[in-house]
Structure 1
Amino acid sequence: MAISSILLVVLVGYFLGAISFAVIVARGQGVDIFKEGSGNPGATNVKRVLGAKWGNTVFALDALKGFIAAGWPLLVYGGDNRLAVIGLIAAILGHSFSVFLKFRGGKGVATTIGGLLALMWAVLLIGLVIWLIVFYSSKMVALASILFALSLPVSAYFIHGTQDPRFYLGLILAVLIVVRHRSNIARMFGGKENKF
Structure 2
Amino acid sequence: MLSLLLVLAISYLLGSIPSSLWVGKLYKGIDIREHGSGNAGTTNTFRVLGWKAGAVVFALDFLKGFVASFWVSNQAFELFSFGSGPIAPPGWEADAFLMITCGLMAVVGHMFPVLANFKGGKGAATACGMLFGIEPISISISFLIFIIITLSTRYVSLASVTATFFYPVNLLILRYLLDYFVDGSIIVFAAIVATGIIYKHKSNIKRLLNGTESKISPPKSKPGEEELAKAGAEA
TM-score (norm 2): 0.75
Q: 1:130 to 1:56 in 2, by over 3 A?
A: closer
Aligned equivalent of 2:14 = 16
Aligned equivalent of 1:54 = 53
Aligned equivalent of 1:77 = 77
Correspondence 1:63-74 to 2 at 5 A: 63-71=62-70, 72-74=72-74
What SS does the corresponding residue of 1:61 show, helix, strand or coil? helix
By how many angstroms is 1:103 displaced? 1.8
By how many angstroms is 1:162 displaced? 7.2
Distance across 2 between alignment mates of 1:59 and 1:135: 13
Distance across 2 between alignment mates of 1:174 and 1:7: 25
By how many angstroms is 1:171 displaced? 1.1
Structure 2 gaps of 5+ residues are 79-93, 176-180, 217-235
By how many angstroms is 1:48 displaced? 2.7
* 8 A contact 2:17–2:115 mirrored in 1: yes
Distance across 2 between alignment mates of 1:44 and 1:142: 6
Aligned equivalent of 1:180 = 200
How many residues in Structure 1 have an aligned counterpart in Structure 2?
A: 194
Determine if the alignment matches structure 1 residue 31 to structure 2 residue 30: yes
Cα-Cα RMSD: 2.1
Distance across 2 between alignment mates of 1:132 and 1:57: 15
* 8 A contact 1:85–1:165 mirrored in 2: no
* 8 A contact 1:64–1:114 mirrored in 2: yes
Higher normalized contact order (CA 8 Å, seq sep 6+, divided by chain length): 2
Deviations 1:6-64 (A, max 9, x none): 32332111111111111112123310111112221112322332232222211111111
Aligned equivalent of 2:230 = none
Determine if the alignment matches structure 1 residue 7 to structure 2 residue 27: no
By how many angstroms is 1:135 displaced? 2.8
Distance across 1 between alignment mates of 2:190 and 2:74: 18
Distance across 1 between alignment mates of 2:141 and 2:51: 24
Q: 1:75 to 1:167 in 2, by over 3 A?
A: farther
* 8 A contact 1:97–1:103 mirrored in 2: yes
By how many angstroms is 1:168 displaced? 2.5
Distance across 2 between alignment mates of 1:101 and 1:81: 30
Larger Rg: 2
Using the aligned pairs only, state the percent identity: 37
Distance across 1 between alignment mates of 2:76 and 2:7: 11
**Partner amino acid, structure 2, of 1:39:** G
Distance across 2 between alignment mates of 1:157 and 1:149: 14
Q: 1:122 to 1:194 in 2, by over 3 A?
A: same
Q: 1:17 to 1:86 in 2, by over 3 A?
A: same
Structure 1 gaps of 5+ residues are none
By how many angstroms is 1:169 displaced? 2.6
**Partner amino acid, structure 2, of 1:25:** V
Aligned equivalent of 1:113 = 128
What SS does the corresponding residue of 1:37 show, helix, strand or coil? coil
